Amino acid sequence: MTRVNRAWRTRRAWRAWRACFVVLLISFAPLSTAHAQSAEAEVLFRDGRALIKKGKIAVGCDKLAASERLESSVGTLLNLGDCREKLGKLASAWAAFRKAEAMAKRSGGDDKRQGEAGRRAAQLEPRLATLVIEVPSRVDGLVVRRDGEQVDDASWGTPLPVDPGSYAIVAEAPGHLAWHDTVTVAPGAKRQVVAVPALERAPVAAAPEAGAVWPPPTAPVVARPIHERGTWSATRKVSVAVALVGAGALGTGAYFGVHARTLQDRADQRCPQSSCDDPEGLRLNDQAQTSATRANILYIAGGAVLATAVVMWFVGAPGETVIAPTAGHGQYGVALAGSF
């Protein structure tokens, strides 16, 4: 077969490979994020275990908690429950063991770790401290929060397991004065109770006198706005990573291009004519065509990826933000405007 026919077949194969490459590039883009997230959770898990072995239990426990938030697993939950128990946070440890038990039961085939999680949780249960929030007087719109998190009204009056420590309790309702208190739960306290009293009504503002201008006028405030414009945005950071991938593809393509040229020169030395019966010359020619095809694919792919990175860089430019003080009707604040 002549080299002219081989070149024609190579061009036809290249068109098919180019179409497949574009489809694969689009199809596998979302998978990289999922794998990166799993890898991050694994690294945090290993760091947490290593820190705990060195005696740094609190820091290691935080690492395990971060890993569990990224990707929950039975093994992470068991280790998290163990370190929280060592820190005296029995309610958090109990919750981690119960969650690990339920997860192992759902997955099936993990009877050993399911049994271990259930056993550890059962050991902790008699030692749990509980907090009861009693709300005898209820009004419309009443909201109760514990350390800033809203407590569901269905759990009012129910002993809930908590870790030992101090908790800020706040009760709020429209048209009423807010009530707040701090309760301290001792280790092993079986039933620490905090009662929310009836909320007092907020005082009603006096009506303005006849003929008075309400709200009173205020002098306008003139201030020069502050213009802020950043450089980096999330899209621009991604564009840099995409550009690095494109540059790597171009570099690899350059290698295959040089390799193809070297093989072709060796083939031409053995087969200087258009037709050749030398097996070694034909083999070198085939290898040269393969390397050239790979180089072309990488050139096109790298160029497309770099072009995508450039577009992402300009599209992802952060907008200009204008910050200016405002005043009027007895109120003062800051105005924020711009494109994002």
> Tens place of pLDDT for every residue, the chain, 340 residues?
444 445 445 555 555 444 444 333 333 333 333 333 578 999 999 999 999 999 999 999 999 999 999 999 999 999 999 999 999 999 999 999 999 999 999 988 888 999 999 999 999 999 999 999 999 988 899 999 999 999 998 999 999 999 999 999 999 999 999 999 999 999 888 889 999 999 999 898 766 666 665 666 665 555 555 555 567 777 777 778 878 887 887 788 788 778 878 877 776 777 776 667 777 777 877 787 887 888 788 779 878 877 887 887 777 777 654 444 554 444 545 454 554 4
DSSP code for 176: B
**Number of C-beta neighbours around residue 16 at 10 A:** 9
CATH number of the domain to which 79 belongs: 1.25.40.10
Indicate if 52 and 102 belong to the same structural domain: yes
Confidence at residue 94, expressed as pLDDT on a 0 to 100 scale: 95
Three-state DSSP at 287 gives helix
pLDDT tens digit string along 150-176? Answer: 999 899 999 999 999 999 999 999 999
Task: Check residue 96 and give its pLDDT.
Answer: 95
**pLDDT confidence of residue 245:** 83
pLDDT score, position 204:
82
Query: In terms of domains, do 163 and 147 share one?
Result: yes
pLDDT of 248-278, one tens digit each?
877 887 887 788 788 777 767 777 766 677 7
**Residue 254 is assigned to a structural domain of this protein:** yes
Q: Both 176 and 119 in a single domain? A: no
Does one domain contain both 119 and 171?
no
Q: Is residue 190 located within the same domain as residue 146?
A: yes
Indicate whether 141 and 70 sit together in one domain: no
Question: What range defines the domain where residue 308 resides?
Answer: 233-315
Q: Could you tell me if 109 and 137 lie in one domain? A: no
Q: How many domains does the chain have?
A: 3
pLDDT given at position 36: 38
Instruction: Assess if residue 92 is contained within a domain.
Output: yes
Which two tokens mark 68?
Answer: 């569990």
Residue 156 shares a structural domain with residue 86: no
Model pLDDT, residue 278: 73
- Domain contains 142: yes
What's the whole-model pTM score?
A: 0.50
- Of the candidates 126, 152, 181, which is a domain's last residue? 126
Q: Is 332 helix (H, G, I), strand (E, B) or coil?
A: strand
| Domain at 169, CATH number | 2.60.40
Tokens standing for residue 269: 């030395």
Which residue is associated with the tokens 């079986």? Answer: 190
Indicate whether 188 and 240 sit together in one domain: no
Domain contains 9: no
Domain contains 137? yes
Alpha carbon dihedral 281, 285, 288, 292, in 10-degree steps, equals 170
According to DSSP, residue 153 is labeled G
Q: At 120, is the secondary structure helix, strand, or coil?
A: helix
Indicate whether 115 and 138 sit together in one domain: no
Q: What is the pLDDT of residue 268?
A: 73
Residues 103 and 191 reside in one and the same domain: no
Do 61 and 82 fall within a single domain? yes
